[in-house]
Structure 1
Amino acid sequence: MTVFNDGPSVTGDTGIGAEFETPLINFQNSACSLINTFAAKRMTVQSRSGTNFVLSVDTGSTELGAGKLNPEYILDDASIKVGDGSAAAASAAATDSMID
């Protein structure tokens, strides 16, 4: 028998996560192949991470093409619990990271 844990977090508490992505900002490298572009998806950008957040890259909702990625801040739904203030703290830290 296979058990599928469809719970919101590893502890079973209600978690919340979010992705903040914009098509208005792009990372571009004309020397990057399409294969390497897709391999870069979800990788952390310049060690930009902190408690419950990470800056990574995505190929966007539509294929942008070789060497083009959108940045996205991801709030960790496995660690952030509803109502404990950790989403606000992670959002503030991600904002500080973006401004820095």
Structure 2
Amino acid sequence: MTLTPASFIRRKATKAVVAHSAHGALSKARRKPARSVTLIGAGAIVGLVTGFLAGRRRAPGLGPMSPAPAEGQAGHPDPVAPPTAPGPAPGPVTVAGG
């Protein structure tokens, strides 16, 4: 793969930004370790709660607050109502005024 001048500059800039950000985060963690641990812990808790709630929304029937399945449909991933009998046949059609 050959690099164009634009992609070379982009790659170099991305590498510099990542290195600068990592250095800054590490430096701040050394100066204020308690604050870093607190922020990382808070972010982990928020991420866990968000992931748990998103998982419950995507998988109905797994959580304690989801509605119970209808009778005869337990375990079916996509419950479908059973077919119903057809209605009564229509009577003779009359045209008014004819």
TM-score where L is the length of structure 2: 0.24
TM-score where L is the length of structure 1: 0.23
Bigger fraction of residues in strand: 1
Q: Which has the larger radius of gyration?
A: 2
Greater relative contact order structure (CA < 8 Å, 6+ sep): 1
